[in-house]
């Protein structure tokens, strides 16, 4: 089987590593990929939004199975483009990827089908949003409707801040057209947990839980980023939480999408908050998380190609999804200054330490080959992941391995997975 992976980050490297383990797979291509993925796959320089060229490439190389990993192409209809050409592609079609593509849509869906989430209102005019704020309780949360690189959420402590936020999202278009509509929602408090799941349109199989660290600096300070590290499983995702989510959230979401004529096949990523009143949905994503995939996939026992094929065939009910009884921690090595301003092109050394390791993984996020060297090519550079018998061991090993690689302006958080200590 020939497989094409669309994307270029740490998530795609983790997906490529799982795909490479499948005995069904003879050749992997990745568009556009990065220097780490290039060790497993043939990378081809086609952008993730260039559907015409992606489809032409898949035809020319007789690709059997394409995995579309990032949100932008999914929301814009990449899977539809492959299917229209008679090709097999994994991921939701455009009419289902709207679950991530429009926060107003997902909030309305949850309200209509009684799926627990924060109370909210949708707005299409700044004037109405500003009027609403006058009588709202603070803090309050503003969310640009569309995709905004994970940055379209503002938590506002005062009325002044909230008004400024409405202006910058809806009038100044800080996030472009993503801010044409705005969701204003109740501020909630609690632990956050991510649960990724495979979905075949009818059946949903949740994977093991994970937790992301979104802020740039230790102690959850600084700006929001794509994610500075993750651990899996989350000790806060107890059997009780799991049972509640299975009863009220997971299947309910899949059934709601089907009832709306938007059959969902692919990955649903549930961003959950464990509030005093029970688990609630913070957000849905229509894809693997990055860096959640880097801790969840190394723990998966199944052949990923079999599970993905079952999602496409509608036979996921016959799959026994299993994870190792261990733990994983991923620490992101970033370029100092991320997510605002940072330098690229710095030589990375020490990568060979990860060769032939079983419990240590170095997933490349922003890297590229430059002559003989591998150099930094993004804000998030590498995802250093380790597995261990439990979270404490995995965390220790992951931090040890962060010392194996060097590059100028290397930056990381030092408290990934620290929440684990609070469990003692």
Q: Write out the residues near ligand AMP by the rule CB under 6 A.
A: 118, 141, 143, 150, 153, 155, 185-188, 192, 214, 271, 282-283
Least distance to ligand AMP from the beta carbon of 336, Å? 23
Of 235 and 271, the one with the shorter C-beta distance to ligand AMP is 271
d(Cα 274, Cα 394) in Å, to the nearest integer? 24
Residue 6 interacting partner from ligand AMP, ligand GLY, none (CB closer than 5 to 8 Å by kind): none
Distance separating alpha carbons of residues 246 and 204, to the nearest angstrom: 10
Shortest Å, Cβ 143 to ligand AMP = 6
113 binds, among ligand AMP, ligand GLY, none (CB under 5 to 8 A by kind): none
What DSSP string describes 195-223?
EEEEEESS-EEEEEEEEE--EEEGGGEEE
Which 97-126 positions form the footprint of ligand GLY (CB under 6 A)? Answer: none
Query: Which of these ranges, 130-138, 253-261, 289-297, 334-342, lies near ligand GLY under the rule CB under 6 A?
Result: 289-297
β-partners of residue 330 are: 230, 385
Task: List the structure tokens of 362.
Answer: 């170095």
179 binds, among ligand GLY, ligand AMP, none (CB under 5 to 8 A by kind): none
Which of 55, 204, 292, 302 is in the footprint of ligand GLY by CB under 6 A?
292
Evaluate whether 19 touches 305 at the Cβ level (below 8 Å).
yes
Pick between residue 100 and residue 260 the one whose CB is nearest to ligand GLY: 100
Q: How far apart are CA 55 and CA 65, in angstroms?
A: 12
Binding mask 353-382 for ligand GLY (x = CB under 6 A): ------------------------------
Residue 166 or 295 having the CB closest to ligand GLY: 295
Residue with the two structure tokens 């060097």? 406
Tell me which residues in 208-247 interact with ligand GLY (CB under 6 A).
Answer: 212, 227
Whole-number minimum distance, CB 287 to ligand GLY, in Å?
Answer: 8
Q: Is 344 within 8 Å of 375 (Cβ atoms)?
A: yes
Signed CA dihedral, 61, 66, 72, 78: sign only: positive
DSSP-assigned beta bridge partners for residue 185: 120, 141
Alpha helices in 26-140 (DSSP H): 51-60, 71-75, 78-84, 94-101, 103-112, 126-133
The interface with ligand GLY within residues 299-328 (CB under 6 A) comprises none
CA distance 237 to 255: 23
Residue 289 in the binding site for ligand GLY (CB under 6 A): yes
CA dihedral 317, 193, 252, 247 (to 10 degrees): 80
Choose the contact partner of 163 out of ligand GLY, ligand AMP, none; CB within 5 to 8 A by kind. Answer: none
Q: Calculate the CA dihedral of residues 296, 315, 311, 284 and round it to 10 degrees.
A: -70
Q: How many binding residues for ligand GLY (CB under 6 A)? A: 7
Residue of minimal Cβ distance to ligand AMP? 283
Residue list 130-169, contact with ligand GLY (CB under 6 A): 150
- Pair 65, 39: CB distance under 8 Å: no
Token pair listed for 403: 């010392």
CA 372, 28, 202, 109: dihedral to nearest 10 degrees? 30
Distance of CA 189 to the CA centre of its chain: 21
Q: Work out which of 55, 185, 290, 366 binds ligand GLY, going by CB under 6 A.
A: 290
Task: Pick the closer one to ligand AMP by CB: 148 or 333.
Answer: 148
Nearer to ligand GLY, 332 or 375 (CB): 332
Three-class secondary structure of residue 64 per DSSP: coil
Q: Give the range of 13-21, 115-123, 151-159, 282-290 binding ligand GLY by CB under 6 A.
A: 282-290
Q: Rounded to 10 degrees, what is the CA torsion of 171, 173, 178, 184?
A: -50
Kindly state the smallest distance separating residue 33's Cβ from ligand GLY, in Å: 18
Figure out which of the listed residues 102, 211, 285, 377 binds ligand GLY, where binding follows CB under 6 A.
285
By C-beta, is 153 or 398 nearer to ligand AMP?
A: 153
Region binding ligand GLY by CB under 6 A among candidate stretches 81-89, 197-205, 286-294, 320-328 = 286-294
Q: Which residues bind ligand GLY (CB under 6 A)?
A: 150, 212, 227, 285, 289-290, 292
């Amino acid at each position: 089987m020939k497989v094409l992976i669309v994307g270029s980050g740490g998530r795609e490297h983790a997906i490529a590593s799982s795909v490479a383990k499948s005995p069904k797979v003879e050749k992997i291509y990745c568009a556009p990929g990065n220097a780490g993925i290039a060790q497993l796959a043939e990378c081809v320089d086609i952008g993730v939004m260039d559907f015409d060229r992606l489809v032409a490439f898949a035809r020319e190389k007789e690709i059997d199975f394409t995995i579309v990993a990032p949100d932008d192409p999914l929301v814009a209809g990449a899977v539809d483009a492959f299917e229209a050409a008679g090709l097999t592609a994994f991921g939701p079609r455009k009419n289902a990827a709207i679950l991530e593509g429009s926060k107003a849509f997902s909030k309305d869906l949850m309200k209509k089908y009684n799926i627990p989430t924060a109370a909210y209102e949708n707005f299409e005019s700044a004037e109405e949003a500003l009027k609403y704020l006058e009588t709202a309780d603070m803090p309050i949360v503003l969310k640009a409707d569309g995709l905004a690189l994970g940055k379209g959420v503002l938590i506002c402590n005062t009325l002044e801040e909230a008004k400024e936020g409405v202006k910058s999202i809806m009038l100044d278009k800080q996030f472009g057209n993503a801010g044409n509509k705005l969701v204003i929602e109740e501020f909630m408090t609690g632990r956050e947990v991510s649960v990724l799941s495979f979905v075949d349109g009818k059946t949903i199989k949740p994977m093991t839980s994970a937790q992301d660290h979104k802020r740039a600096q230790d102690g959850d300070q600084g700006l929001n980023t794509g994610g500075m590290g993750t651990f899996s499983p989350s000790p806060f995702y107890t059997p009780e939480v799991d049972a509640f989510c299975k009863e009220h959230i997971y299947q309910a979401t899949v059934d709601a999408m089907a009832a709306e004529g938007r059959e969902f096949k692919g990955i649903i990523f549930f961003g959950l908050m464990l509030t005093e009143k029970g688990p609630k949905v913070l957000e849905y994503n229509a894809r693997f998380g990055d860096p959640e995939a880097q801790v969840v996939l190394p723990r998966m026992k199944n052949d990923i190609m079999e599970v993905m094929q079952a999602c496409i065939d509608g036979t996921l009910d016959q799959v026994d999804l299993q994870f190792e009884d261990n733990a994983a921690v991923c620490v992101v090595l970033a370029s100092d200054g991320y997510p605002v301003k940072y330098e690229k092109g710095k030589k990375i050394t020490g990568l060979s330490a990860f060769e032939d390791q079983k419990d240590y993984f170095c997933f490349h996020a922003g890297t590229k080959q430059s002559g003989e060297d591998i150099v930094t090519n993004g804000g998030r550079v590498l995802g250093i992941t380790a597995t261990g018998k439990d979270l404490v061991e995995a965390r220790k090993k992951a931090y040890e391995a962060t010392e194996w690689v060097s590059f100028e302006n290397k930056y990381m958080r030092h408290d990934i997975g620290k929440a684990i200590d609070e469990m003692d």
